[in-house]
Structure 1
């Protein structure tokens, strides 16, 4: 994220008028709290799966695209993290290397990034010259097959080595008559099976052969595009003996390989014809080969075959006895139909080890079949919308399904018929967010009428409340940490208990009203909600649910409500240009009214309750003294939030400041800074005392959203308007959630607005954690989490190196105790871990504990518990416990639920040791006094 580290003066102030004392005070505060500038993107919550294929690596690591970012889910630990890596637009294709180390992602603009997954960094970037329809690594990890339009390109995988041209194109096959949509490699990485929309599948030999006709073998007979093609392997010989092709119309063809019927001498015959099961292959073929150069430097050779097997160029020498599958004989064994009526096949995958195929259909049904006998094992319905991805994990026990229209990802175990993962983001924009008092949970409410509660540490949603019948507009966590309030346009305020998973109280009004703001006092006795239509504030008793009072006085919708943290004063903001203070418990009505020049959009109290901030429609932030009732200062933030040009704007980004304003505000935990965001791609951080801009967070670089770019491409501007507004999508392409959302919102109705509109980037809500270590922003892409704490610390022992007891011993001898401890905990051997603990000198304990990775924290605590109970070196071990708790205090607080068993065991061990020492010392009190009084020389 881009940060502006140099504070900029307010536009309303003269720079020469700023005193040296003010600047010195700002720098002193910044130096005293440097963490205020260290917020970094940590995770993305609530974002729906918008399409593209998912991949599973290391048997339990699910990688899926989320907009222009990549989400990684550990299915064993139920932990989800979104990488800081992002592309220029939404990701449409993913491919992972066989060992899961590398990941290649391609976006809608045909730009790809090559990612090192363990390090979470981008190694290389490249642009393809056409639309990518399929992408796959070879089993040996050396090549990447890319389907670009009608072409199939073979690229050499970059790997870890440095090169001037990281990607090197090896070969290009130009044989398909339509778009390539599926790819499959053979186990030896020598052959490639390609399915395309021209109703055919082709078998290519990737190697360059001498004296052999290198024409692809055609698999014909389908009546629709081939969406999946796979190799079957003989379990005894581990050689390819079958092939399966799946068409979009719901038919699967099984092909049998009966060996090579073309010998070397026959290949040189002028009259030899390429075999094909149905119709003969066309005579002329074009193969474009690369001489090994990089992008733009390839040497092209055009070869025209007229039925003869020899070419004029030098190629590899091959064994005369070797069989070539693309020149062998393939027989159509059987045709089977899935019998799903008019439903089309939209996703499929095949597992060679289990010889099973999974197929997803456009009606939300999926089927699991045993091949080659085509025995149906499961045929179940997941949803009513089409499935856009279906994939096996490494062992074949888990099936991953994705539905782009619902933004849903599922992982299902077919043997036990149970869900491993079931995650669904918000269907529409998130309107409101709030942290729990202990900062462990985050609640979100959206236009899809749902309230979701997320675990911040794991990034997973564990509760979804669906009782609201209209958009959720406001949320508030109660002080007891397990009760949540939500307000909605359906005219209700609901209280939720997310320990019992139920709605235990509903607050209503005599006449239905639409609520847009919500708050409760610190004691939790009073609940207040502001309305959109009647401009009233309703006050309920939380326990009885009865209306205690109705506050009148505002003349426009009440969009902001908040109780003072220390007093019982309620502040409300409205579009009638006022902020009003109410004494709810004394029933005195309005205590104070703060007048503004424009509509007031939101209001918030400083944590000490002595200051109040409000934002107005003209882009200003006003700070009021709640005790004296005077305006303290004002921040002019329109120029700070300006930036980004929409497709329909007739002004440049520099001149489009009209309409730019802050719609949400949030104080830091100490009240020294304030976060502000609204109708822009920026979140601004201001210093309150000096009213200067400290930093701007750019929430997205996704060009699939409107308002990201400052300068638009003039080539896309026509007399009828921007070309991007023309809905020219192919109906056969997968429909993502963005297109579905536009249709449900009525954007595609005649006369409503241009048919194709991009979502406009903006931030609707901000919430800072009570600990002050992180804050959340509800944006168009989802809920962005920014944190001071580093969630990822690269552990070098996670690489593929020799982690052995000998390596631990060598590290101890070399006095590399931190590395020795990490290696021993990865080996998970108690004796080695204890040996490493005692190898650390007391002076180095602090440094070693700081270097311990977070994921090994629980294992280290368990080892310390065992040592405390059975080892006499109590002072040394207590020193270890103290330094572990001090060095990892924030991590323990964030993950206290997972660390709770180890913490309790540690507490019991220390308590037991204390009790034993107490008893022993009490029974020997006089002996100890005598020993202390004896002179040293005696």
Structure 2
């Protein structure tokens, strides 16, 4: 028998860490989730996980200007170029170190990557002409004194602005220019978090971690940048010029002295006013227009508050800044006018993205796994998703397969839509770890057990907790089960080795079944309507079969060779399967309690090579 299982979607986590970004049409959000990438379609309300993965978690992602190529880099510096049309990996490259930021140039010909204190500029596949070029190194810059944190391209794709932890911003050129080699901007007192070029201009905006914003004005426009005819460095060019000038040095001095004799002082001043220095006027220089501080009130209240994420929309001139306390500001540039502020959580905002029209803003909070899309004009949430902040402990499919219910260590119970991939409702009633969840046969509700000593029933129609089942004394419930008629609910104790039986309709405790000598690990009702038999598995190496209605105190005991972990009935109710701690699955007849078969699972669970299987010289001698 062959099974062709194919990965379909990823549920339970919406964001962990790394960059989030919008697609070029602004309808989808791309979010890295561990070693996979999920695309959330905000128009159709659906999520899709790309069928590609990495050995480590993705941290830096960016999309090409044409919208068909996605480049993703994991935390070990392994880059993958992914086609969004075929959803396959086109090319791979290893940077051999962590990449802090990556970004395509506006013309799509290059992309830049920041690794430690080095900036790599590489060629990108140009899909407009059908030409494909893999990762080819164009230029490498290693001028920063500390790690490089952020970067941005100019609209002409000739200049690259790079911010660093050394509080400086450096301007690099892709090709050698006559009027610019490299430029460095200083004036911040903390590490640079964001740097942005203005649209169709060389003016700059730099933002540092302490909430400082600096505005820089360029002396020339983009059209005034002159590309060198000979693509060699300025240092080599000066050496060649010095070699050529040394031959005619004597003749030039004679000509200058003769010219000085025929020019008076008045003529000199007039010439200086009429003929400006053309070389200095065409050279790119930056002037600081202003310095602004944002978030002073927050930092005064919280001394550890830092500006952790920033994004700038060049068309609408909107600057969004996020802080470590979960607060974000929306400012209008260049006057830095505050438009709106909102607290979305109490945790750090690590990534911000803005859609191409500029109406939607996406925020990522890695601590609680939260991903938000906010429309700032109408002040409404377009998408608000959050996974479990801690590990998940249990899940259950609905009988019709439309929903999945998950419980976690954080005490939350979440209902996921399997069609869209979104979490539709979250229940926060439990105060401790959720240990088990199960659906009713009529598909109308589900129940959950927790270590807080409660079993709660949730309605899937109105999304509310309509029943809370408790015991006379505080018990940590480890498992829960519903019978086929959805009228009886049973839960097993972890610290008290008893089974509690309730009526779901009235919420009344019907009976307490005792007999186990260790924590009850699993419960299962017979799926047949005519039977009310209950099977309970425990760590005391037994499985007990109870008749809940006729004689609840009497039970049949099945002895096992190891601790029982899980028990389940066959669909016809004539047989049970029990998994044990030694890796075996045993089958027993429910009428005679005799073993009918077993599955040896230790070979599958312990697959692979052990340390004793390594071939050493001593092992080789034994085999001879």
TM-score (norm 1): 0.58
Measured in 1, the distance between the counterparts of 2:547 and 2:325 equals 57
SS at structure 1 position matched to 2:521: strand
Measured in 1, the distance between the counterparts of 2:191 and 2:69 equals 30
SS at structure 2 position matched to 1:222: coil
Counting only pairs closer than 5 Å after superposition, residues 323-402 of structure 1 correspond to structure 2 as: 327-338=283-294, 339=296, 340-341=298-299, 342=303, 343-402=305-364
Select which of 135, 139, 158 maps to 1:171: 139
Aligned to 1:258: 219
Instruction: Tell me by how many angstroms 1:654 deviates.
Output: 6.3
| 1:42 maps onto 2:5 in alignment | no
Counting only pairs closer than 5 Å after superposition, residues 878-897 of structure 1 correspond to structure 2 as: none
Q: For the structure 1 residues 612 and 255, does the alpha-carbon distance in structure 2 shift closer, same or farther, using more than 3 Å as the test?
A: same
Counting only pairs closer than 5 Å after superposition, residues 643-654 of structure 1 correspond to structure 2 as: 643=607, 652=611
Instruction: Tell me by how many angstroms 1:589 deviates.
Output: 3.0
| 1:455 maps onto 2:417 in alignment | yes
Counting only pairs closer than 5 Å after superposition, residues 103-252 of structure 1 correspond to structure 2 as: 103-159=70-126, 166-209=134-177, 212=178, 214-233=180-199, 239-252=200-213
SS at structure 1 position matched to 2:544: strand
SS at structure 2 position matched to 1:511: coil
Measured in 2, the distance between the counterparts of 1:333 and 1:223 equals 17
Q: For the structure 1 residues 98 and 323, does the alpha-carbon distance in structure 2 shift closer, same or farther, using more than 3 Å as the test?
A: farther
Measured in 1, the distance between the counterparts of 2:310 and 2:102 equals 15
Instruction: Tell me by how many angstroms 1:83 deviates.
Output: 1.9
Measured in 1, the distance between the counterparts of 2:588 and 2:315 equals 69
SS at structure 2 position matched to 1:84: coil
Counting only pairs closer than 5 Å after superposition, residues 587-666 of structure 1 correspond to structure 2 as: 587-643=551-607, 652=611
Conservation of the 8 A alpha-carbon contact between 1:262 and 1:328: no
1:123-143: CA deviation from partner (whole Å, max 9, x where unpaired): 111111322111001111111
Conservation of the 8 A alpha-carbon contact between 2:537 and 2:544: yes
Instruction: Tell me by how many angstroms 1:118 deviates.
Output: 2.6
Measured in 2, the distance between the counterparts of 1:143 and 1:486 equals 53
Instruction: Tell me by how many angstroms 1:468 deviates.
Output: 0.3
TM-score (norm 2): 0.86
SS at structure 1 position matched to 2:436: strand
Conservation of the 8 A alpha-carbon contact between 1:397 and 1:415: yes
Measured in 2, the distance between the counterparts of 1:200 and 1:113 equals 30
Aligned to 2:545: 581
Measured in 1, the distance between the counterparts of 2:599 and 2:419 equals 35
- Equivalent residues, number: 569
Q: Which runs of 5+ in 1 are unaligned?
A: 1-29, 234-238, 269-288, 290-300, 313-321, 646-650, 656-938
Q: For the structure 1 residues 132 and 261, does the alpha-carbon distance in structure 2 shift closer, same or farther, using more than 3 Å as the test?
A: closer
Counting only pairs closer than 5 Å after superposition, residues 180-579 of structure 1 correspond to structure 2 as: 180-209=148-177, 212=178, 214-233=180-199, 239-259=200-220, 304=235, 327-338=283-294, 339=296, 340-341=298-299, 342=303, 343-566=305-528, 567-579=531-543
Aligned to 2:53: 86
Instruction: Tell me by how many angstroms 1:104 deviates.
Output: 0.9
SS at structure 2 position matched to 1:175: coil
Q: For the structure 1 residues 38 and 627, does the alpha-carbon distance in structure 2 shift closer, same or farther, using more than 3 Å as the test?
A: farther
Q: For the structure 1 residues 118 and 455, does the alpha-carbon distance in structure 2 shift closer, same or farther, using more than 3 Å as the test?
A: same
Instruction: Tell me by how many angstroms 1:596 deviates.
Output: 0.7
The structure in which a higher percent of residues are strand is 2
Conservation of the 8 A alpha-carbon contact between 2:318 and 2:331: yes
Instruction: Tell me by how many angstroms 1:242 deviates.
Output: 2.0
Instruction: Tell me by how many angstroms 1:498 deviates.
Output: 2.8
Q: For the structure 1 residues 84 and 590, does the alpha-carbon distance in structure 2 shift closer, same or farther, using more than 3 Å as the test?
A: farther
Q: Which runs of 5+ in 2 are unaligned?
A: 244-277, 615-624
Instruction: Tell me by how many angstroms 1:155 deviates.
Output: 0.8
CA RMSD of aligned residues (A): 2.8
Measured in 2, the distance between the counterparts of 1:220 and 1:213 equals 20
Q: For the structure 1 residues 311 and 407, does the alpha-carbon distance in structure 2 shift closer, same or farther, using more than 3 Å as the test?
A: farther
Conservation of the 8 A alpha-carbon contact between 1:114 and 1:123: yes
Q: For the structure 1 residues 620 and 409, does the alpha-carbon distance in structure 2 shift closer, same or farther, using more than 3 Å as the test?
A: same
Measured in 2, the distance between the counterparts of 1:52 and 1:139 equals 22
Measured in 1, the distance between the counterparts of 2:367 and 2:525 equals 40
Conservation of the 8 A alpha-carbon contact between 2:220 and 2:283: no
The structure in which a higher percent of residues are helix is 1
Aligned to 2:31: 64
Measured in 1, the distance between the counterparts of 2:202 and 2:429 equals 55
Choose between structure 1 and 2 for higher RCO, CA contacts under 8 A separated by at least 6 residues.
1
Select which of 8, 19, 23 maps to 1:53: 19
SS at structure 2 position matched to 1:639: helix
1:88-131: CA deviation from partner (whole Å, max 9, x where unpaired): 11111111112321111111111111111132111111111322
Counting only pairs closer than 5 Å after superposition, residues 671-686 of structure 1 correspond to structure 2 as: none
